[in-house]
């Protein structure tokens, strides 16, 4: 099965970036983005109506829809904290090449949904919005994929709506933070000041340098602009402050309640979430396997998309041949025991 190539290399089979029309609801700065994968995926973003009880009217919710339905379980891609579906720009086309019905969803409060009426964006509202989107538009049990904080969103959703989830894939999961902590006690003016800093280019550049194992400076600037594009929408600050003051996600006590098969993917050079937490997560999930990706940082689906696409494709189709794996031993959390990881042996194209 051929799945295209690395995002930083030549283009895959159906990701030829051509300059076309961007959706009118995207910030005009989208035209300044150079990354051909981001430009191509941005042109496919659309808004779907999602009716939720906490809003008087439907929320026009942004996502990338699959072009075709398939017999396999749909793959639904979430994103990290304060990000958007453009995070999947490199991996999404490879999953389509693998004939998977793939959705890339913007979590309520982030991404490019129309939030002019300022609905609540706390964890419960995000969960219910995702459920209503699933119930209205996807309608079948899904393979839910969550990177970083998106893993907490996925766990919370799977525990509360198990009928909607077939399997889970958690990528460099940030699931042990107990919500937004002391930030909930900030005066509003300080919360807005802090949130405003989140969209600044220097902070986004620094975040990219932390997130990726090795990235050229020119690409770092462009990817920072991709990552902060949704921050330029007029309601972004209000939605993010609402989430911050609400307490955020705390799923520590839900992890052991997950009754689905789980694939945990981890970039071994993660500078944001300690790899020891992958061991802890594997130990607490009732039915999980772990794959570590060598020479990879916090965002494997951006940095090593071909490997991530193969892992997702194999996990989505149980009959698919398994990649050659080799166990390696790492120290456990308490330093007393050992733990086996599977390292995926896939050469970069």
Mean pLDDT, rounded, for 23-33: 97
What whole-number percentage of the chain has pLDDT above 70? Answer: 85
From CA 77, how far away is CA 161, in angstroms rounded?
Answer: 17
- Please report, to the nearest 10 degrees, the dihedral formed by the alpha carbons of residues 160, 163, 167, 173 taken in order: -10
Q: Specify burial of residue 188 (Cβ count, 10 A radius: 0-12, 13-18, 19+).
A: exposed
231: three-class secondary structure by DSSP? helix
Of 35, 82, 97, 270, which residue is the catalytic one? 270
Of 148, 156, 291, 301, which residue is the catalytic one? 148
291: three-class secondary structure by DSSP? strand
pTM of the model: 0.85
Q: What is the DSSP letter of 70?
A: -
Residue 72: the pLDDT is 83
Q: Is 97 a catalytic residue?
A: no
Q: Which residue has the tokens 């699933």?
A: 134
From CA 13, how far away is CA 5, in angstroms rounded?
Answer: 9
Mean pLDDT, rounded, for 193-205: 89
Q: Is 298 a catalytic residue?
A: yes
Q: Is 148 a catalytic residue?
A: yes
From CA 151, how far away is CA 138, in angstroms rounded?
Answer: 20
Q: Is residue 182 over pLDDT 50?
A: yes
Give the pair of three-digit tokens for residue 110.
């982030």
User: How far, in Å, are 142, 312, 313, 315 from residue 323 at the CA level?
Assistant: 23, 12, 11, 11
Left (φ > 0), alpha (ψ -120 to 50) or beta: where does 35 sit?
A: beta
Residue 319: the pLDDT is 55
Other Cβ atoms within 10 Å of 215 Cβ, number: 16
- Please report, to the nearest 10 degrees, the dihedral formed by the alpha carbons of residues 235, 238, 244, 248 taken in order: -50
Of 230, 291, 298, 301, which residue is the catalytic one? 298
pLDDT in tens, 139-167: 999 999 999 999 999 999 999 999 999 99
Rg (CA), the chain: 19
Mean pLDDT, rounded, for 297-326: 81
Mean pLDDT, rounded, for 265-271: 94
């Amino acid at each position: 099965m051929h799945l295209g190539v690395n995002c930083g290399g030549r283009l895959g089979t159906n990701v030829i970036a051509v300059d076309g029309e961007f959706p009118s609801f995207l910030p005009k700065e989208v035209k300044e983005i150079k990354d051909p994968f981001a430009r191509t995926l941005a042109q496919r973003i659309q808004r779907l109506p999602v009716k939720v009880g906490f809003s008087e009217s439907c929320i026009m919710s942004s996502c990338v829809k699959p072009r075709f339905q398939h017999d396999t379980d749909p793959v639904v891609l979430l994103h990290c904290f304060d990000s958007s579906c453009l995070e999947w720009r490199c991996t999404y086309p490879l999953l389509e090449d693998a004939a998977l019905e793939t959705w890339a969803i913007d979590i309520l409060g982030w991404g490019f949904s129309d939030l002019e009426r300022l609905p609540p964006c706390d964890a419960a509202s995000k969960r219910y919005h995702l459920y209503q989107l699933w119930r209205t538009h996807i309608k079948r049990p899904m393979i839910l994929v969550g990177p970083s904080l998106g893993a907490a969103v996925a766990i919370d959703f799977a525990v509360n709506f198990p009928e909607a989830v077939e399997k889970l894939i958690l990528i460099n999961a940030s699931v042990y933070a107990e919500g937004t902590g002391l930030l909930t006690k900030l005066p509003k003016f300080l919360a807005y000041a802090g949130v405003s800093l989140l969209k600044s280019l220097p902070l986004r550049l620094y975040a990219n340098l932390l997130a990726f194992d090795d990235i050229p400076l020119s690409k770092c600037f462009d990817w920072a602009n991709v990552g902060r594009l949704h921050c330029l929408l007029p309601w972004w600050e209000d939605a993010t402050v609402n989430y911050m003051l609400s307490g955020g996600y705390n799923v520590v006590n839900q992890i052991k309640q997950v009754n689905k098969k789980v694939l945990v993917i981890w970039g071994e050079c993660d500078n944001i979430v300690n790899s020891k937490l992958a061991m802890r997560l594997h130990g607490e999930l009732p039915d999980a396997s772990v794959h570590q990706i060598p020479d990879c940082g916090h965002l494997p689906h951006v940095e090593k998309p071909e490997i991530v696409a193969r892992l997702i494709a194999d996990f989505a189709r149980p009959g698919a041949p398994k990649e050659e794996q080799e166990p390696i031993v790492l120290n456990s959390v308490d330093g007393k025991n050992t733990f086996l990881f599977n390292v995926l042996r896939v050469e970069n194209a």
